[in-house]
Structures are given as structure tokens and as C-alpha cells.
A and B are shown apart, each in its own frame.
Chain A
Amino acid sequence: MKQFLSIMLLAVVLLAVSCGQSKELILGGVGPVTGEAATFGDSTKKGFLLAVEEWNAKGGVLGKTIKTSFADDKGDPAEGATVYTKLIQQDKVVAIIGTVMSKVTLAGAPIAQAAKIPMISPTSTNEKVTLVGDYIFRACFIDPFQGTVGAKFAFEDLKAKKAAAIFDLGNDYTKGLSESFKKAFEALGGTVVAFEGHPSGATDFKAQLTKILEGKPEVLYISDYYNDVALIAKQARELGYKGPLLGGDGWDSPDLVKLGGEAVENGFFTNHYAPDATTPEVLTFVKNYKAKNNATPDALAALAYDATYLMLTAIKNAKSTDGAKIRDALAAIDLVCVSGRVKFDANRNPIKSAAIIEIKGGKQVYRTTVNP
């Protein structure tokens, strides 16, 4: 009891006194570093911190050192609303990078908008996110884009006429991706023979896959994240499916091949950049990320890194930490990032082309670029 009370007291006191102003500039970050999406939050955090570290090594921004405040949202909208409030009201951040999941970003965005604090979500794909207001930007594709690109690739390059899709029922990103794939594939004249969802957190997908394979699809669209993709691919191969697999940027992780092994060979996915690309941005990023974290970056790390670069560049261009000025600078930005050259459209979504990556011999190989 005493212990509990003293900790409570400490918490309250710290809450009250830690409002101290500092001369540095504080950049906020948000991501789920606990809970079932923790691994995504972890990558996001690492990409974010690496970008800030690189800027600080070059002297910070506007002559100030960049301090960071990274908060855990647990993948929960209510927690998201709390941490956005904390970063803005308590830590007095000038801008926010975050967060990963659309549902959480949608709870945080109105708070940032109301406080006129610009924010870039690295990975929230739901169209509604940036429609919250003019301070809200994103660094990733929106739902319909990747599905359309994937469908075009399946129909034209893979010459598939019959496709099937599997997705996570409880995840808006994967559901949205599969839906847009289906729509685009049918518009091109193809048939979607099966469109099956699986519960979130499932490990056995054979019920859905058995049903899917009865329709004899020529391509299987898997819109899940890499961890589920690996299991789905393995189980589809075990059930005798030999055709190509196709997916979105959720596939982009060095762990995909580790988890999926040979099963993910003959797999293709739409991505922001090709890891074997030789642009200096990609090379620097991959090298520094490996040196710092002893791991190869995934798409989430890359997008968080890009989002941070975009935001800091905007602050530099704006020559100010004023929210409205940073917003205007972001709207006008034109920057070459890891994930390609980024400009924002009128709805603050990035305009960029998609790369198609093939999994070949356990490596991610660049196949082609598709422009929107």
C-alpha cells in the first residue's frame, strides 16, 4: 500500500513539475511498442530515432539540437488520444511522427489538428486520416493505390485471369488492400474466384486456403503483414499451390524470407523502394540502420525514417517552429527520400511510384516500377 501510494505520489509530482521549458526543439514520435503490434512500433521507433540522430550529427535543425519524445500507444485508439495530448500539451513538441495504425492515428489526428501541430503518419493507409485536416500528412500509399498496382501487375505481367485474395478480417489495412485489388482486377477483366478473410492472430489458414484452391486461382493475393504472409505461403504450398503469390508493402521485412523460406519464392509485392536500389539515400539508410540496430530495416522503419526527414526538412525550409509555417513548407516539399521522390498532393498524400519486388533465391529483387 505504502509502496503504491508513494509511486502514485511520485507520478503526480513528476506530472506537475516536468512542464519545464527547454531550449532544444522537441520532436514527438508515436508507435505501438507494446502489445501485439509491438514489432511494428519497434521498427518505427528505430527508423525515427535514426533519422533524428543523423540530423543531430549534422548540427540539428535551425541551429537547435533535436530532442525526441517517443510514446507508446499500445495499438489502442484511446491510448493514442492520450499520448498525442501528452506530446502536445506536456512535452510541447513542435511536430509529431506517428502513428502506425490508422485507427490510432485517427484518434490522434484531431488533437494535432486542433493544436495546429503538423504530423506525418508513416504507415496509416486509411484515406480518412489526412482528411482530418490540413496539418495531417502521411508518408505511405493509400489503400486503393497498391491494390490497383498489384492487380495491374497480376493481369498484365503475370498473365493471370483468375485470382484469389486472403486477408485479415480485423485489420483495415489488409482488408482495404484486398478489396481494392479485387475491384481493380475485376475492372481489368479478370475473375476473383475466392475472397476469404481470416481472424486476426490466426496461425492456421488451411480452412480458407483449401476453399480458395478449389477455385484454381492463377495468382494468390495475400494482403497481410510479412509474419502472416510467411505462414499463409507455407500452408498454401503444403496444400499444393504452386502459382505466384502477390502482396503489398506489408511484406517488406527481412524476416519474410527467414519465416517463409522456400514457400515465399515466386512471390511479388508492391513496395515504396527496392532494397537493392543504389540511390545514396537507400544505401546510407540501410548502412546506418544496420550499424545502429544490428538488423536490416523493414518498410515500417524506412517510412518512419522518411517521415522524420520530411518533417525536419520542412522545419528547415520554414525557418521556424511555428505549426502553420511547417505545414506550408510540408505542403510545398519536394524531397528525395529512401522511398523515392516525395511530393504531397492536395489531400496531403505522397505522390510516388511503386516498385514491384520479387522474392528470388531468398532475396528481394527489383522487378519493375509502376507509375500511378
Chain B
Amino acid sequence: MMGSIFNVQQVINGLQTGSIYALIALGYTMVYGIVRLINFAHGDFFMIGAYASYGSFFLFNSLLGAKGGTLAFIVLIFSVLAGGAVAAVTNRFAYRPLRYKPKLSSLITAIGVSMFIEYFFSAFPPIGPSYKAFPEILPKMQIAIGSATISNYTLIDIGVAAVLMIGLTVLVKWTPLGKAMRAVSQDKDAAKLMGIDVERVISWTFIIGGAFAGVAGLLNGMTYPRIFPYMGIQPGLKAFIAAVLGGIGNIPGAVIGAYIMGLAETFASAYNSLLGEGIAFAILILVLLVRPRGILGEKTADKI
């Protein structure tokens, strides 16, 4: 059966899975890189992005009659705004008061925020625990490549992941905000002495990370048209692992880690369904044992 594992279709399947991981992992890794906080609620920002696009689709489609490209653009804006806004609010009220406390207390708070968002969405009657069918915002097409097939959504996912990766790299490397972000990530106190408004930089980091999660939620909803309040848990966890695999804090690393995970999961599942379930974690452990800082992670001095 080996022949059936490494065929073109399975490569496409792996890239599809990997690009969703990549979209989530980008925001995850950026926030970690700058604030050094595992933002457990990131998967829930992703879920909120999906619900925001779901809601705005129906609002603008049925009430205001928007269609096609305009509608897709409006929906995109809403997913970005929702993701960014919820990230900003979370940062302001849950993480900021703990900024100079031991970082593990922020981590526990992040877990609390994540639980709160999930349970609240599930309990809140207008949303509720049921599965919602995500609308087809753009017409879905299948493109044949020999005996294999790829959907236009897969291409969009891969494209958006690449664009966002490049955009984020440019932002962090070459803009004043990016420079400030890097300064904050290296030394908050020194950055403050240099006249950088540390809290403002961190706010923007969360807003951008949340906006990325929002976009990921939208694309995930389009690709896998089923949304529910707990949809962020699994992809969030996998994306985080992908980010660690690539070297957490490293932007291209997150994308590389995500595609390695996506492809590995696909090939492993195709080989043996039992293997597919645990492979992500097995790879992770192997990589970290051999190279603890991840694939592209920079070697840093001990941070204790």
C-alpha cells in the first residue's frame, strides 16, 4: 500500500490541512515572540472570527443584498475586526494587569479566558451549542491535476497563508511598529527607557494576532463549512504545536512547522489510521529532543 500514500492527492490533502494550521500558527507565534505568552485563547479568537463572518454574511446578504466579491470583502473585514477587537479586549482586561507578574499566572488566565469564551458562546442562546452550516461565500470549484483534484479554496488558503507570512515578516522587520515590537520582545524595560510605549506595542501585537486568527476562522469556515463554539480547541492546539515545531516566535518557522504537521498527519493517516492520531505529537517530541529550539528557532540565552 506504500504507493497509495505518497501520491499527488495526498500531498494536496496535506497542504490543505497544513495551510489552516499555518494561518492559526502565524498569530500564535507572533504573540508569543513578542509577549512571551502562550495565548491559549488564540483558538477561540479563531472561532470568533468564524462566527463573525457567519453573522456578517447573513446580515449583509439577506438584509442588505450584498453579493459576490463585495460580500466576500465585507465578511473578511468583519472577521478581521472581530478577531482584533476580542484580542484587544482580552489583552486589556485579562493579560495587561498581569504583565509584570510571573508569566505562568498569565498562562492560567489565558486558559480561563479560553474556557470563558467557549462556554459563553455555547450557553448564550443566540449562538448556542449546535453546529452551523457556513455559507459558500465564493463559488467552490474543483480543479483536476491528472488523477488528483484540488479545490480553489485550497489554493486560496495556501495563498493567504503565504501572503500573511510575508506581510508579517515585512511588518516585523521593516516598519517602525515592527522595530518597536522586536525591542519589546528583547527587553521591555530597556524599550521603555528608549521611549517606546510598551503597552501600545503589545496592544497592537494582540490586535494583529487576533485579526490573523479572524482571517483563519473565515477561511476555515469556508473550507470546512461547519462551525461550533468548541471548534477552536483542536486546531488551536495543533497550530501551537506547529509553531513550537518551527521555533516559536519565528514567523516563517510557524508556516514551515504547520506544513510539516499537515503533511505528516496526512501521510500517517493514509498509512494507518491509528498512526494519524498521534503522529503530530510524536514528531514534536522527536524534533524537540534533537533540536529543542525548533526548526528555525534562534538560540537564546537561558530565560529563567
Q: Which residues of A contact B (CB under 8 A)?
A: 33-36, 38-39, 41-42, 169-170, 196-199, 201-204, 206-208, 210-211, 214, 226-227, 230-231, 234, 238-240, 255, 258-259, 261
Distance in angstroms between the alpha carbons of A261 and B274 in the assembled complex: 30
Pairwise interchain contact B122-A204, C-beta atoms closer than 8 A = no
Known interface pairs A198-B273, A210-B10. Does A204 touch B17 (Cβ–Cβ under 8 Å)? Answer: yes
21 interchain pairs, CB-CB under 8 A: A34-B119, A34-B122, A38-B122, A38-B230, A41-B129, A42-B128, A42-B130, A169-B274, A197-B274, A199-B276, A203-B226, A206-B266, A207-B276, A210-B10, A210-B13, A227-B131, A227-B226, A230-B133, A231-B226, A255-B133, A259-B226
Q: In the complex, which of the residues B10, B131, B277 contacts A255, with contact meaning CB atoms closer than 8 Å? A: B131
Which residues in window 141-163 of B have CB below 8 A to A? Answer: 142, 149, 151
Q: Check B270–A33 contact: CB distance below 8 A.
A: no
Across the interface, which residues of B come within 8 angstroms of A255, CB to CB? 130-131, 133
Task: Check B228 for interface membership: any CB of A closer than 8 A.
Answer: yes
Q: Is the pair B13, A39 in contact by a Cβ cutoff of 8 Å? A: no
Across the interface, name the chain B residue whose C-beta is closest to A32: B129
In whole angstroms, what is the CA distance A226 to B131 when docked? 10
Which residues on the B side are within 8 Å of A38 (C-beta)?
A: 122, 129, 229-230
Cα distance A42–B14 in the bound complex, in angstroms: 35
Cβ of B233 within 8 Å of any chain A Cβ, yes or no, is yes
B residues near A (Cβ < 8 Å) are 1, 4-5, 7, 9-10, 13-14, 16-17, 20, 119, 122-123, 128-131, 133, 142, 149, 151, 220, 224-226, 228-230, 233-235, 265-267, 269-270, 273-274, 276-277
Smallest CB separation, B24 vs chain A (Å): 12
Contact, CB under 8 Å: A211 / B270 = yes
Q: Tell me whether B234 and A201 are in contact (CB under 8 A).
A: yes
CB distance from B282 to the nearest CB of A (A): 13
Given contacts A239-B9, A240-B149, contact A204 B224 (CB under 8 A): yes
Q: Do A258 and B130 form a contact, CB below 8 Å, given A207-B10, A207-B276?
A: no
A276 to chain B, nearest CB (A): 22
Which chain B residue shows the least CB distance to A41? B129
Q: In the complex, what residues of A have CB within 8 A of residue B10's CB?
A: 207, 210
Judge whether A35 and B230 touch: CB under 8 Å. yes
A227 to chain B, nearest CB (A): 4
What CA separation (Å) do A255 and B142 show in the bound complex?
A: 25
Q: CA of A258 to CA of B5 in the docked complex: distance in angstroms?
A: 33
Contact partners of B229 in chain A: CB under 8 A: 38
User: Measured between alpha carbons, how far is A34 from B226 in the docked complex, in Å?
Assistant: 18
Given contacts A33-B129, A38-B122, contact A238 B151 (CB under 8 A): yes
